Amino acid sequence: MALTITDAGIKVNIVRETRSPSQKGFGAVVFLTSVTGGITERIKLYSSLAGVAADYASTDEPYLSAQAYFSQSPAPTQYFIGQVDADALETYVDALDAMTVIDPDFYCVTVEAAARDDVLKIDPIAAWVESNERIFFNISNDVNCLVPADTTDIMSALQAKGYDRTLTFYSKETGEYIDAGAFAILATTSYRGTNTLKTLKFKDVKGVTTQSIDPAQLKSIQDKNGNVLFTTAAIRMIDAGRTAAGSWIDEVVGTDALTEEIRVRVFGLLSRVSTKIPYNEKGMGLLEAEVAGSLEQYVRNGFLTTRVDEEGDLLPAYKIWHTAVILASTVDKSARIAPDIEFEARLAGAIHEITVSGTLKLD
């Protein structure tokens, strides 16, 4: 056998430190459906309407909701059906807790038509998503949503509670599922891309009937922080993507996605390296770099942005800092708890309205 470089004393050992934690997806919806005769499968993932058709008839609610979901373009690929035990009078929240134990990868919750306008059923779901880093897309078939003075509708009830993660659409169509279709628009957002973020305003939801409403009825929905699909100037469009608390749902989802990005990158660093992260400024610099990398990606995808101040100076999209290691307490050092890393970042926002003014003159 011929001599090799190794025989000459040159030994190279390369370890692939590519292990990384999985990142929670923000493109998966779960449809809650009540079943009798016992739970057959608590929660099941489907990647196409054909898969749903194998388990449900085309007239069943889970199928109709999935149809609205997969009909959007581009179409998402993760649709969960979660079963709720009607015989045992199981609540939706108890069912959701059971589902997260089995498969926690869903992000948006939708629910069967029978629950839509029942505050005793909807309110607990809205409360559940607030504390579980998820969102809830609901529908109301109640015409009182169109009445400004009426506060008995579900939009008004959710608005009064200030829920920041629940969004409600008005539709008179009891057999349609604009909730799943609308979330499908956000579900295909690529947070790893460049200029890829979306809002719901002005978007169409295919396969869903637009609502025939007048300006006063639209204002009633808007004042109740509700949403609706209507037609104007021959264009089908959503107005406007607000949560019950008045926040923009795309910013809620974007914040969750950024939070997960930072969480995964920092954990990935700690779990990937073969040597320790030292408890000094160098070690903090390594951790801070992961946070900065996350923020930089969210500048690229359009969630964060730079600003120009009144003097014309460019302000950065974010600032990041950490408490000096020398100021860390002995208790924290002993417990190996790092000093806090903090940042301030500027949301890019989006343009939904504009006024154009001009003057015509005869010179």
Cβ partners under 8 Å of residue 313, min gap 6: none
Predicted confidence (pLDDT) at residue 20 exceeds the cutoff of 80: no
Q: Please give the pLDDT value at position 24.
A: 65
Query: Could you give the residue ranges of the DSSP H alpha helices within the chain?
Result: 49-53, 61-70, 92-102, 119-130, 154-161, 178-187, 215-223, 249-272, 281-300, 330-335
Residue 273 confidence (pLDDT)? 84
Q: What is the pLDDT of residues 168-177, one digit of tens each?
A: 999 999 999 9
Instruction: Check pLDDT > 90 for residue 224.
Output: yes
* First-to-final CA distance of the chain: 97
- pLDDT at residue 2 is higher than 90: no
CA dihedral 119, 204, 132, 40 (to 10 degrees): 80
Within 8 A by CB and 6+ apart from 10, the residues are: none
d(CA 46, CA 148) in angstroms, rounded, equals: 40
- What tens digit of pLDDT does each residue of 247-304 get? 999 999 999 999 999 999 999 998 888 889 999 999 999 999 999 999 999 999 999 9
Q: Which pLDDT belongs to residue 26?
A: 82
* DSSP type of residue 362: -
Res 33 pLDDT > 60: yes
Give the C-alpha separation, 31 to 20, whole Å. Answer: 30
What pLDDT digit, counting tens, does each position of 323-338 carry? 999 999 999 999 999 9
| pLDDT greater at residue 285 or residue 20 | 285
When the pLDDT of each residue in the chain is averaged and rounded to a whole number, the result is 92
Output the pLDDT for position 8.
47
Residue 22, pLDDT > 80, answer no
pLDDT reading at 100 higher than 90: yes
Check residue 203 and give its pLDDT.
95
Q: Give the predicted TM-score (pTM) of the model.
A: 0.89
Cα 111 from Cα 154, distance rounded (Å): 14
